[in-house]
Amino acid sequence: MIEKTRHIKDTKKLVGMLPAIRYTEPKYLFIATANARCPKADLYIKEGDHVNSCQVIGMRHGPFFEQPIHATCSGTYLGLEKHYHRNGKLTDFIKLENDFKDTIDPSVKERTPEEIAALTKEEMTEIIKQTANVGLGGSSFPTYIKFQTDKPINLILINGIECEPYITADHRLMLEFPYRIMEGIKYVMQAFNCKHAKICIKSKYKDIKEVYTQMVKEYAGSGIELCLVGNYYPQGWEVEMIKNATGIQLKPGELPSNRGIINFNVSTMVGIYKAIKYNMPVIKRFITITGDGINFPKNFRVRVGTPVKELIPMCGGYKNPDKEKVFIMGGPMMGASVPSDDIIVTKTVTSIIVLDKVTDKEEPCVRCGSCVLTCPVHLEPVQIMNAVKTLDKERIKSLNPLRCIECGLCTYTCTSKIQVTDYVRKAKMIAKL
């Protein structure tokens, strides 16, 4: 994945300044039947059926949990079609023809402040489970499982750091929906009976800082405060964020809840707000379309299920259309490359980065140690790579590759342009066998 990690020319500042374009009524929407955590699904609809927006139309099944599938528009179910999923694989998608009426399912109903105030943690957990909320920063981890911890929580951290280059979807979300975020945080504090929350942002984001300084004043007495953290990558990694926001250094593999901390991405707060306030699943999200291969990078607010191809013309089309492109779903450091723009916006797609394809020639390792020096979890990527090349399973295991967070820094900094991260990924798979 050299082309995705070594050629970074960030347009972040400029794109983050532009309001997100609302593109919420495509003719067809596509909902993934499966994802990385839930590889199987049952559908509750048959071809020709009419569906309401937010209606449960199926159930995904995984080894550890199930996840309802929701329609993201009202219209007609036309059958299954294959498209690329965020995991880089061709996947069956449910094709819905939008009737442009946006008929909302009767299961969506507004709760009064009194009803919300009376909700217990267990009831909120169930609502979040039924509305299929997941980590919307890209983790896709089911939010209700985080809610199930029985550890006492005395600090909630909201991750608004968005530390990868290029991506500004959360930046726009924070500027455009501050009240939804603040209310979502209040609901989470209520669930955990927690008196303290910190919204973590990079200190260089002056516009977000201004907005949330004001928000914190408006919500005075709620226990919510703003926390400015560093401007480097991977500051958004939970271990790094917790260290900078609290001074606590988690041990390798230690859960934040062991220290009384729970953390959520800022976009997940909006998902929780909609779930608790309206019993509504995530049907829309912010997404950044950017990269050197695009004429005018932009942010959008779209329905989940929107084909990315429809957004490209609104970005002025491809720059240098004759040049082969690389498409990355997610950030340039941790995202996944897909071979075409036949990409669907799922709940957890934060961005699409389009780059002109540049093929770097790998040189032999010069033992410079850059990959070791930059690894945030203190692994020895070069040694892991050598062990993978010799298929030395015992040696691989002894080098602890499972601690790798796949930040991509070892590839990015490699003097010899070696795709070191890919070797570490292979090592993780071997270590699990």
Pick from 73, 108, 115, 69: nearest CA to 92 = 69
CA distances for 217 relative to 157, 235, 293, 294, 317, angstroms? 18, 26, 42, 40, 42
Count the neighbouring beta carbons within 10 Å of the beta carbon of residue 367. Answer: 10
Query: CA 172: distance to chain centroid?
Result: 15
Residues numbered 285-344 forming contacts with ligand SF4, rule: CB under 6 A? none
Residues numbered 343-382 forming contacts with ligand SF4, rule: CB under 6 A? 365-371, 374-377, 379, 381-382
Should residue 414 be labelled a site residue for ligand SF4 when binding is judged by CB under 6 A? yes
Report the nearest approach of ligand SF4 to the CB of residue 137 (Å). Answer: 18
Count the neighbouring beta carbons within 10 Å of the beta carbon of residue 253. Answer: 8
206 burial level (CB within 10 Å; 0-12, 13-18, 19+): exposed
302, 21 Cβ separation under 8 angstroms: no
- Residue 312 token pair: 């490209």
If the CB atoms of residues 50 and 425 are measured against ligand SF4, the closer one turns out to be 425
* CA torsion through residues 372, 375, 378, 382, sign: negative
Report the nearest approach of ligand SF4 to the CB of residue 169 (Å). Answer: 23
Report the nearest approach of ligand SF4 to the CB of residue 262 (Å). Answer: 23
If the CB atoms of residues 236 and 408 are measured against ligand SF4, the closer one turns out to be 408
Q: What are phi and psi of 345, to 5 degrees?
A: -75, 110
Among 45, 418, 419, 422, binds ligand SF4 (CB under 6 A): 418
Report the nearest approach of ligand SF4 to the CB of residue 416 (Å). Answer: 4
For residue 56, what are the contacts with CB-CB under 8 A and spacing of at least 6? 44, 68, 69, 70, 107
If the CB atoms of residues 359 and 415 are measured against ligand SF4, the closer one turns out to be 415
Report the nearest approach of ligand SF4 to the CB of residue 409 (Å). Answer: 4
Report the nearest approach of ligand SF4 to the CB of residue 398 (Å). Answer: 15
Pick from 81, 75, 85: nearest CA to 54 = 75
Question: Which strands form 325-329's sheet, in the order they lie side by side?
Answer: 21-23, 298-303, 284-290, 351-356, 325-329, 336-338
Report the nearest approach of ligand SF4 to the CB of residue 422 (Å). Answer: 9
Report the nearest approach of ligand SF4 to the CB of residue 316 (Å). Answer: 33
Task: Give the bridge partners for 30, in sequence order.
Answer: 95
Count the neighbouring beta carbons within 10 Å of the beta carbon of residue 25. Answer: 13
What residue has token string 């939010």?
143
Among 148, 213, 398, 415, binds ligand SF4 (CB under 6 A): 415
Residue 318 φ/ψ region, left for φ over 0, alpha for ψ in the -120 to 50 degree band, beta for the rest: beta
Among 160, 297, 331, 408, binds ligand SF4 (CB under 6 A): 408
Which one of the spans 45-53, 86-94, 352-360, 405-413 is the region binding ligand SF4 (CB under 6 A)? 405-413
Question: Count residues contacting ligand SF4 (CB under 6 A)?
Answer: 29
343, 370 Cβ separation under 8 angstroms: no
Report the nearest approach of ligand SF4 to the CB of residue 230 (Å). Answer: 17
Over 214-229, what HEC string results? HHHHHCCCCCEEEEEE
Report the nearest approach of ligand SF4 to the CB of residue 5 (Å). Answer: 9
If the CB atoms of residues 69 and 407 are measured against ligand SF4, the closer one turns out to be 407
Report the nearest approach of ligand SF4 to the CB of residue 334 (Å). Answer: 9
If the CB atoms of residues 297 and 381 are measured against ligand SF4, the closer one turns out to be 381
If the CB atoms of residues 343 and 424 are measured against ligand SF4, the closer one turns out to be 424
Should residue 383 be labelled a site residue for ligand SF4 when binding is judged by CB under 6 A? no
If the CB atoms of residues 34 and 414 are measured against ligand SF4, the closer one turns out to be 414
Q: For 403, what's the count of Cα atoms within 13 Å in the CB-facing half-sphere?
A: 19
Should residue 118 be labelled a site residue for ligand SF4 when binding is judged by CB under 6 A? no
CA dihedral 191, 122, 282, 40 (to 10 degrees): 140
If the CB atoms of residues 18 and 377 are measured against ligand SF4, the closer one turns out to be 377
If the CB atoms of residues 302 and 407 are measured against ligand SF4, the closer one turns out to be 407
Should residue 410 be labelled a site residue for ligand SF4 when binding is judged by CB under 6 A? yes
If the CB atoms of residues 312 and 333 are measured against ligand SF4, the closer one turns out to be 333
Should residue 424 be labelled a site residue for ligand SF4 when binding is judged by CB under 6 A? yes
332, 409 Cβ separation under 8 angstroms: no
Report the nearest approach of ligand SF4 to the CB of residue 228 (Å). Answer: 25
Should residue 407 be labelled a site residue for ligand SF4 when binding is judged by CB under 6 A? yes
Should residue 396 be labelled a site residue for ligand SF4 when binding is judged by CB under 6 A? no
Residues contributing to the site for ligand SF4 (CB under 6 A):
365-371, 374-377, 379, 381-382, 404-410, 413-416, 418, 420-421, 424
